[in-house]
């Protein structure tokens, strides 16, 4: 046993002796305070009962046990702290997602209304705006204003229109309706937009219905953001 351990053991003997005195006094107030020699004898008896050859070895083992318990409790505390931090982050994300995407169902319903307004305008004769009477012109302007106001309101809540003409086809945001043979552009390029799509935040609310090219050169796979940063020398 090193000198440091022996000193710790001796200090522990004195402390334990004082503890024993306090316990005895608490149980029997009339008992006189235990002397240092009596405290050492008490520790020796406890050591003998525990199977140790000396009080110092007993107290050294007790110190080691307490240190181990301290380490275990510290580990439990760190784990609990990490779990609470993860829970806090998940809760923040759930709250942010709920705030951002809570109107998704309502927005889809409003998009159907906007589609109907647009269909109503498109069914009118081409010369109705110029040659129609004042009542018809006012009706057309009113329908168009309603459509614009509805789209502006949706945009304020994170709903944005996507019109991917001449962009690479993305199955996450586009729905291919037909193929267009064209050898002049890369394969799977959007060449026709039948119906514009919409996103809310970074999620697809309604895919854009498109026609894509076929027969052209194969497009290179999109580069990841990490690869782009590496090529540009960014950390």
Say what the pLDDT of residue 190 is.
94
Whole-prediction pTM = 0.53
Assigned CATH for 160-225: 2.30.22.10
Report how far apart, in Å, the C-alpha atoms of 139 and of each of 30, 97, 114 are. 104, 39, 16
The contacts of residue 209 (CB under 8 Å, 6+ apart) are 174, 175, 177, 193, 194, 195, 197
Q: How far apart are CA 176 and CA 207, in angstroms?
A: 9
- The pLDDT score that the predictor gives to residue 95 is 83
Domain-by-domain residue ranges, the chain?
8-21+35-102, 105-157, 160-225
pLDDT for position 233: 54
Closest C-alpha to 185, from 146, 228, 217, 220 = 217
The pLDDT assigned to 128 comes to 72
Q: Mean pLDDT of successive 10-residue segments in the chain (235 residues)? A: 50 51 45 61 74 76 86 91 91 80 85 88 77 79 89 89 91 94 90 92 91 82 53 51
CB 193 within 8 A of CB 174: no
């Amino acid at each position: 046993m090193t000198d440091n351990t022996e000193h710790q053991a001796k200090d522990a003997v004195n402390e334990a002796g004082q503890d024993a005195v306090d316990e005895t006094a608490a149980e029997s107030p009339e008992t006189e305070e235990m002397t240092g020699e009596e405290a050492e004898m008490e520790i020796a008896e406890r050591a003998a009962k525990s199977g140790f050859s000396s009080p110092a070895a007993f107290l050294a083992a007790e110190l080691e046990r307490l240190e181990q318990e301290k380490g275990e409790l510290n580990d439990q505390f760190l784990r609990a702290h990490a779990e609470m931090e993860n829970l806090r982050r998940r809760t923040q994300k759930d709250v942010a997602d709920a705030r951002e995407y809570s109107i998704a169902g309502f927005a889809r319903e409003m998009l159907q209304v906007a589609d109907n307004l647009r269909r109503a305008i498109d069914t009118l004769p081409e010369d109705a705006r110029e040659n129609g009477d004042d009542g018809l012109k006012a009706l057309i302007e009113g329908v168009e204003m309603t459509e614009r106001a509805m789209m502006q309101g949706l945009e304020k809540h994170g709903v944005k229109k996507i019109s991917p003409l001449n962009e690479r086809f993305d199955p996450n945001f586009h729905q291919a309706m037909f193929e267009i043979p064209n050898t002049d552009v890369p394969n799977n390029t959007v060449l026709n937009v039948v119906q514009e799509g919409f996103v809310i935040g970074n999620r697809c609310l309604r895919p854009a219905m498109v026609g894509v090219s076929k027969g052209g050169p194969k497009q290179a796979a999109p580069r990841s953001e990490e690869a782009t940063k590496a090529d540009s020398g960014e950390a």
